[in-house]
Amino acid sequence: MASSSTFINGALATGCTFTGKGNPRIVSTSGKSFQSKSFILRIRAEAMATEKLGVKVQKNPPESKLAELGVRKWPKWGCPPSKFPWSYEAKETCYLLEGKVKVFPDGAKEFVEIEAGDLVEFPKGMKCTWDVSLAVDKHYNFD
């Protein structure tokens, strides 16, 4: 679930609920309540994970998430810019320290782009082509 913050008149709001007609009720960190027809909702990007073509990508996960997974203790792998086929015999979770890659799943006309700072999960059985445009350095773990 994505974590969110809302700012009203410079105050950080910790939650918002909508009343019957779409007017949000905002509760600030100080406990004050605001009624507003318009407000700015800021979603922390690091908490958002997306899935495209079977590949799950979380952009800039918090260090606490990486520590929880033990990412820094995983083995490392890297490669220079190149293009090659790859298949996953097991689910792989990886964290890119450096690099940029377009991953083309077999049979798909689209690609998934991953880059430094991404926590990525590739499903078991996936076959794809990696097109590495910037040299990759990553931590990885197979389940």
On whether the CB atoms of residues 2 and 41 are closer than 8 A, the answer is: no
Question: Both tokens of residue 107?
Answer: 């049979």
Overall number of domains in the chain: 2
Convert the pLDDT of each residue in 91-112 to its tens digit.
999 999 999 999 999 999 999 9
- 26 and 76 co-located in one domain: no
For residue 4, pLDDT over 70 is answered with no
- 90 and 127 co-located in one domain: yes
Angstrom distance (rounded) from CA 95 to CA 73:
11
- 54 and 30 co-located in one domain: no
- 17 and 32 co-located in one domain: yes
**DSSP structural state of residue 124:** T
Helix (H) or strand (E) holding 68: helix 63-69
**DSSP structural state of residue 32:** -
- 59 and 128 co-located in one domain: yes
- 137 and 91 co-located in one domain: yes
- 107 and 58 co-located in one domain: yes
- 38 and 54 co-located in one domain: no
For residue 14, pLDDT over 70 is answered with no
Q: Domain containing 38: what range?
A: 4-43
Parallel, antiparallel, or unpaired: how do β-strands 112-115 and 127-142 relate? unpaired
Helix (H) or strand (E) holding 54: none
Convert the pLDDT of each residue in 15-39 to its tens digit.
444 344 454 544 444 445 555 555 4
**Confidence at 119, pLDDT banded by 50, 70, 90:** very high
